[in-house]
Structures are given as structure tokens and as C-alpha cells.
Chain A
Amino acid sequence: MIALLAVSVVTLGTLGLGTWAFRFARTTSDLFVASRAITPWWNAAAVSGEYLSAASFLGIAGLAMKLGMDAIWLSVGFTAGYLTLLLFVAAPLRRFGSFTISDFVEARLGSPRMRLLAATIVLGIAGFYLVPQLKGAGITLGEVTGAPYWVGVVVVGAIVAVNVGLGGMRGITYVQAVQFWIKTFAIALPACLLLIYLGGLPHRSALFGADVPRAPAAGLTVKLQSPKTVTFPRATGYRIGPVERHARAGQKVTLPSGKLVLPPGAAVPLGSGVERGPGVVWARPVGHNGRDGPLFVYSLLIATVLGTMGLPHILVRFYTNPDGPAARRTTVRVLGLLGIFYLFPTVYGLLGRVLAPGLYVTGQTDSVVLRLPHLAWPGVPGNLLSALTAAGAFAAFLSTASGLLVSIAGTLSYDVWGRVRHGAVGTHGRRLRFRFCAVAGIVAPVLIALAAGNLDIGVLVGWAFALAASSFCPMFLLGIWWPRLSARGAASGMIAGAAVASGGIFGGLVAGENVGGAPGALLSQPAVVSVPIAFITMIVVSLLDSADPVDAEPMMLALHAPEGLGLEELEQEPAAPAGAAREPAPA
């Protein structure tokens, strides 16, 4: 009940604040001119606020609990992505003046046709990224109200669509900045209090030693909604419904739906996909092969470190920096703020393994952040802390999902619809079109989220990063630093990278967990292959391209010339026509 209240307060507060703030910023230019006064600290908090999604808030902890400490590389990669963004993209992109990926692609490569290709990839990335947000919503609403999974997905999908369609919470720097602090507070406070209450990490031998997770002193009861296939790591007796049974060590059993009761201290049976080894295996940040081996870790790091710059909803944020040096300062602060947040998912993963072992039976470890506080600390304090994490989770996917849907709706209404059907459209028509696209854009992600109930949030987001790293990252790096990049080269590279990355991901989905070793690692995270392919294709095709190259000199000037030279009026302002014609949002 408290949790429902907390979630409602966060939701209504965010929507209300967003709509209210939006009244002060009626046009796109208002929005951005007003933002010129915003300091790098506010901007950095806003970038971080938009960035921290269900994957960061729920997914990393869930994956860490399920697979082991190799999952915390996600925390590292999600943060490190901003370092590459800082080194190669932040300042030049701000100076160039493009504030969407499609704008940049069209202006830099001088080819309007490239816009459609960029738009397609933007839709792919944003869609991939939106699915886990909706999944997080389904889980959280289920935890809070007991509603079935699909209710949460549909309800939150509808809220986000209406919110974006009506113009709430979009591009509003202060709202996103406040969201960051809500999320950080909501994940940090329970983690710290729990560690103090428990006096450190309990049952360390299941974490780092030879033991496996065990039922607590009062026994463990797990309600199974559907039959589950589980593996018993140690021999133990158990009761399913009224029937007493016994399992041998390593036995694989399909439990019927009903109530599973384990005696105190019994080793907890593990659902499919859960790391089966004892603590010492679970706690390895790098395993020996397959899906926690070095190949997988490197591939994951490449995807996250290079993928951040290709996320459409994040890039928009950099436009609110007044100039290039401010964009650099903002990014350094983002590194600091994210570094604080990402200390905490690890704590939930560690505590979850010993205090919320029931989640291993169902495999739904994604809800560990929501469950852990009231499992670890019975009574009112635990319930209050659980309410806090639920509210934080809601803040996480509301802000990210809204940002993503704005990108999707803007891309659909401007880049796709606007290109396919020409003709003059008034402001009113544009607004209507944007709203229609906001509603249409949520449908596919909702359907996928409904089907993807068993996929881990952290895995889904890993794919979005792989796609971004293999398409937009090479395009930005070469487009900004290499004058010879041609439109044809960029197009071929983006198509090749995106095709290999999505091919690997879907191949992995079809093949499931049957593929082990190096092929399994590459299928579940293809970036280590797809990123080099994209780079090489871009360079080779650009070098072979005999068509007249774009005159890159003015582009390089616009990208790299420092401010304050009085050159601004002669900078090509390549995005200006597109930016002016375009309202990413209905005014």
C-alpha cells in the first residue's frame, strides 16, 4: 500500500511537473534558448537522469544475482561510455549544432537519403531500449499491486504515450535532473541502511565460498504460477502442495504450479539460466568460457563503451549545452554522477543472492531491487524501503521511456512520414502527426515486452547498445574526425554493422542457451565482431568511393573551430534548416 502510494506520487509528480514546466517553454527554440542558462551541473544531472533506466535500476542487480559478478561489468561499461563520448563526440557535436542523429547524418554527409537509413536504425535502437523499460514497469507494478505482468506493461505504455503525446516531460532539463536525484536516493539509501542493519554481508560462504544459496531459518515458501524446471544443487527434501518429496544433488525436476516449501537451510533449487556453481564460481567477474568468459566480457565492454554515443535520447540532451567546452564539462560531471549511482546495483546483487533466494526458483531475479528490502528487514522499515525502491524504479522507466518515445515519435513523424508524404503541413498538422506517431510508436515495443517476459532486462539493453555501437558509433567517430568519410561509405558501414549485430542477437534468441563456448558468447553479445566490421566497411567503401566527395572543409570548421572567433555566422549551420523546419515535439 505504501509502495503503491510512493509510485503514484512519483508518477503524478513527474507528469505534473513536466506539463507545468512545459508551459514555460512553448517552442523548440524557447526550450533551447532557455536552456542556455543551465549550468553544467544541472545539465549533467539531466543527462544522467534520462540515462538511468530500468536496466540500471533493476537489470544490473538482477543479472548479477542470476549470473554472478560478471554482470557488474555492465555498470562499468554504462559509465565508461561517457568517457568515449567526451573524448570524441561531445564538443564537436555541440559545435556542429545538430541535435538529432538524423540531422547530423544528413548535414555531415550531404545526403538527404541517408536520413531514412539513420531513422530506421534510430527506431531499432529506441525500440530495443524501450522494451526493457516496459518489462521493468510490468514487474514493478506486479510487485506493488499483485497485478499480472501484462497489466503493468500496458498501463505504463499507455501512460508514457499519453504523456509524450500531450507534451509532458520532454526536454525539460530540471525535471530530468530531479529524476536523477530521486533514482540515486532511492537506490542508495536502502542499500546503505540494509548494510548497516545487517552489519555487512551475511552468509559469505554462499557469496564467495563453497556454499550455495540456502533457505532462511524460517524455511522458504515460493508460489509457482506455472510449472518450472529447476535444478537442485544439493540433495534436499521439499514439499510441493501437500506432497513431500526428495531431490538428489544435481537432479533436474519439473515442479508443477503451486506452493513450494523448503525446510530451513535447504539448498534452493535454481531455475533455468541461473548460475549453478557455488559462491566462489558465482563471484568471479571473469569466468572461463562461454557467457561469462573473457570474450563475452570484452564484447560487452565494447558494446557499452561505444554504444552510448549512439543513443538517440541521450544525444538530444547535449544540445542544451551553450558551447563545446560546456559540453565537455557536462560530460565529466556525468561521469562523476553515474559513478555514484553505479556503486549500488552491486550491493543488491550480493545481498539478493543470500536474502532473496526464492527468486532463483522462478528465475525472476529482475525484481530483486524491489523485493530485497522487505525480505532483509521485516516489518515497517523494510516495507518503507521497498516502497522507496519501487518509486525509484518507476522514475527510472518513466523518464527513459518518455525520452525514447519522443525520439521514436519525432523520427516517425518527421523523418519517415514527412519524407514519404510530401506537402505543406501546418503547425497543427505537425502536432497531430506527432501525437499519432507517439501512440503508434509504443505499440510494437508493448507487444514485444509482453512476449519477452522471460528475457532479462540487462540482456535486452545490452542488445540496444550493441546495435548503437555497430552503426552510429563508427559513423560519428569517422564523420567527426575523418574528412574523407563519404555518404556511401557511411551507409554501407552502418548497414553492415547493424545487420551483423541484429543477426547475432536474433540467432542467439533462436538458438537459446544451447550454444556454449565462444559461439554462444558472440551470439549473446556480437559487438566484438560487428563493430570492427562496421568500421572497416566504412573506411574501405569511402576510400573506393569515386563519387564527388562532400567538401569537408566547412564541416571540419563547424565541428572543431573553437567558439569566440566570430566565425559563427560563417559556420555552415548545417542543421539550421532541418532544425528550424523540425519541431521534435509539438509546440
Chain B
Amino acid sequence: MSPSPVGRRRTPRDELAEATAHGGLYLRRLVRAQLALSLLALVAFAGILGSLPLLLFLAPALRHISVLGLPLPVFLVAFPLFPLFVGLGLIYQRRADALDEAFRDLVGR
């Protein structure tokens, strides 16, 4: 850990490196933003996955609808959730990387 050069304006990165009050602030802000993103994604994920068993429990008549030769309840559990997980994961990955990038822009110059 090298002290910031004398005579140069202190950058956020120096603050961070020396773990000063500001550095801590920047980092806490990033952690909060990442956590908010993760929780948002979790709400979407848990909302969809969590409501499906309840839906199938409350509406057994759905079995009269047939999709690809399967009753709708079986179809819903067996197929569409997998691509949905990938889609959610992709969106989250993009956003999380973007948050990291923004932090790097703030701190790294």
C-alpha cells in the first residue's frame, strides 16, 4: 500500500486504498447497490417460483388443459422454469457487472 503522491489531488481510489471514511462510504454504497439488485432479482425469482405450487394447489382444474400432450400442471413444472432461470440470471449478470463498472469509473481515475 503506497501513500498517495504528494501534490496530486487525492482520488477516491486513494481514499479507498487507505480505508478512510470516504473509501468506506464508496464501498458501502456499492455493497448496498449490489444487495438491492440481488434482492430485486430474488423477489422476481421467488415470486414466480413460489407462486407456482400455490397456483397448482388452488387450481387443480388446470389439469384439463393439455400442452404438448401433458396436463398443464406437469408441463409448467417440467419445462418453462429452466429458460426462465437463465433469463433472470442473464439480466442480473449484466446489471451487476454494470454496477461494478460504475464503481470502477468512480474510484479508478
A294-B57, A565-B104 known; A332 vs B89 contact (CB < 8 Å): yes
Bound: A82/B85 CA distance, A: 9
CB atoms of A335 and B24 under 8 A apart = no
Whether a CB of chain B sits under 8 angstroms from the CB of A564 is yes
Which single residue of chain B is at the shortest CB-CB distance from A561? B27
CB atoms of B1 and A285 under 8 A apart = no
**Can you list 10 contacts pairing A with B, beta carbon distance less than 8 Å?**
A84-B42, A86-B93, A87-B42, A284-B60, A331-B89, A339-B86, A553-B24, A560-B34, A566-B13, A570-B17
Whether a CB of chain A sits under 8 angstroms from the CB of B67 is no
Bound: A184/B29 CA distance, A: 43
In addition to A69-B77, A86-B93, 8 A-B residue pairs with Cβ atoms within 8 Å of each other are: A76-B49, A76-B81, A80-B81, A88-B42, A208-B70, A283-B74, A285-B56, A557-B16
Chain B residues near A201: list those with CB within 8 A: 69
| CB proximity to B under 8 Å, residues A527-580 | 553-554, 556-557, 560-562, 564-567, 569-570
Binary contact track A329-366/B, C-beta < 8 Å → 1, others 0: 10110011011101100100000000000000000000
Which of B13, B56, B71 has a CB less than 8 Å from the CB of A286? B56
CB atoms of B16 and A87 under 8 A apart = no
Binary contact track B66-88/A, C-beta < 8 Å → 1, others 0: 00011101101111011101101
Chain A residues near B83: list those with CB within 8 A: 339
Bound: A329/B2 CA distance, A: 33
A294-B54, A553-B19, A567-B16 known; A80 vs B49 contact (CB < 8 Å): yes
Bound: A84/B17 CA distance, A: 31
Whether a CB of chain B sits under 8 angstroms from the CB of A453 is no
| CB proximity to B under 8 Å, residues A42-96 | 69, 72-73, 75-76, 79-80, 82-84, 86-88, 91
Chain B residues near A76: list those with CB within 8 A: 49, 77, 81
Chain B residues near A562: list those with CB within 8 A: 30, 100-101, 103-104
Which single residue of chain B is at the shortest CB-CB distance from A200? B69
CB atoms of A561 and B49 under 8 A apart = no
Which of A283, A286, A556, A560 has a CB less than 8 Å from the CB of B53? A286
The number of chain B residues touching the other chain, given as a range, is: 35 or more
CB atoms of A83 and B89 under 8 A apart = yes
Binary contact track B1-42/A, C-beta < 8 Å → 1, others 0: 100000000000100110100001001101100110010011
A83-B45, A285-B74, A286-B56 known; A91 vs B16 contact (CB < 8 Å): no
Q: How far is the CB of B31 from chain A (nearest CB, A)?
A: 5
Q: How far is the CB of B75 from chain A (nearest CB, A)?
A: 10
Bound: A570/B100 CA distance, A: 18
CB atoms of A481 and B60 under 8 A apart = no
Q: Which residues of B are interface residues toward A (Cβ below 8 A)?
A: 1, 13, 16-17, 19, 24, 27-28, 30-31, 34-35, 38, 41-42, 45, 49-50, 53-54, 56-57, 60, 63, 69-71, 73-74, 76-79, 81-83, 85-86, 88-90, 92-93, 96-97, 100-101, 103-104, 107-108
Bound: A80/B88 CA distance, A: 11
Which among A83, A84, A339 has the highest number of chain B CB atoms within 10 Å? A83
Chain A residues near B90: list those with CB within 8 A: 332
Q: How far is the CB of B32 from chain A (nearest CB, A)?
A: 10
Q: How far is the CB of B40 from chain A (nearest CB, A)?
A: 9
Which among B54, B69, B86, B107 has the highest number of chain A CB atoms within 10 Å? B86
Q: Which residues of A are interface residues toward B (Cβ below 8 A)?
A: 69, 72-73, 75-76, 79-80, 82-84, 86-88, 91, 200-201, 208, 280, 283-286, 288, 293-294, 297-298, 301, 305, 324-325, 328-329, 331-332, 335-336, 338-340, 342-343, 346, 481, 553-554, 556-557, 560-562, 564-567, 569-570
A325-B100, A335-B89, A346-B78 known; A80 vs B53 contact (CB < 8 Å): no
Bound: A561/B26 CA distance, A: 10
CB atoms of A554 and B19 under 8 A apart = yes
Chain A residues near B19: list those with CB within 8 A: 553-554, 557
CB atoms of A332 and B45 under 8 A apart = no
Which of B27, B57, B85, B100 has a CB less than 8 Å from the CB of A83? B85
CB atoms of A343 and B108 under 8 A apart = no
Bound: A557/B56 CA distance, A: 44
Bound: A288/B60 CA distance, A: 10
CB atoms of B57 and A280 under 8 A apart = no
CB atoms of B77 and A294 under 8 A apart = no
Q: How far is the CB of A296 from chain B (nearest CB, A)?
A: 10
Chain A residues near B86: list those with CB within 8 A: 332, 335-336, 339
A286-B56, A339-B82 known; A280 vs B96 contact (CB < 8 Å): no
What 8 pairs between A and B have smallest CB-CB spacing?
A: A339-B82, A562-B100, A332-B89, A87-B38, A286-B56, A286-B57, A297-B53, A285-B77
Bound: A79/B77 CA distance, A: 12
Chain A residues near B56: list those with CB within 8 A: 284-286
Chain A residues near B38: list those with CB within 8 A: 87-88
Bound: A286/B50 CA distance, A: 13
Bound: A379/B79 CA distance, A: 32
Q: How far is the CB of B11 from chain A (nearest CB, A)?
A: 11
CB atoms of A343 and B53 under 8 A apart = no
CB atoms of B16 and A285 under 8 A apart = no
A283-B71, A342-B82 known; A481 vs B31 contact (CB < 8 Å): yes
CB atoms of A91 and B96 under 8 A apart = yes
Q: How far is the CB of B83 from chain A (nearest CB, A)?
A: 7
Q: How far is the CB of B82 from chain A (nearest CB, A)?
A: 3
Which of A73, A208, A297, A328 has a CB less than 8 Å from the CB of B97? A328
CB atoms of A208 and B71 under 8 A apart = yes
Which among B16, B42, B82 has the highest number of chain A CB atoms within 10 Å? B82
Q: How far is the CB of B63 from chain A (nearest CB, A)?
A: 7
Which among A305, A553, A561, A564 has the highest number of chain B CB atoms within 10 Å? A561
Chain B residues near A285: list those with CB within 8 A: 53, 56, 73-74, 76-77
Bound: A201/B75 CA distance, A: 14
Chain B residues near A324: list those with CB within 8 A: 100
Bound: A553/B25 CA distance, A: 10
Which single residue of chain A is at the shortest CB-CB distance from B90? A332
A76-B77, A325-B100, A565-B16 known; A294 vs B42 contact (CB < 8 Å): no
A284-B73, A286-B57, A557-B27 known; A80 vs B85 contact (CB < 8 Å): yes
Q: How far is the CB of A109 from chain B (nearest CB, A)?
A: 18
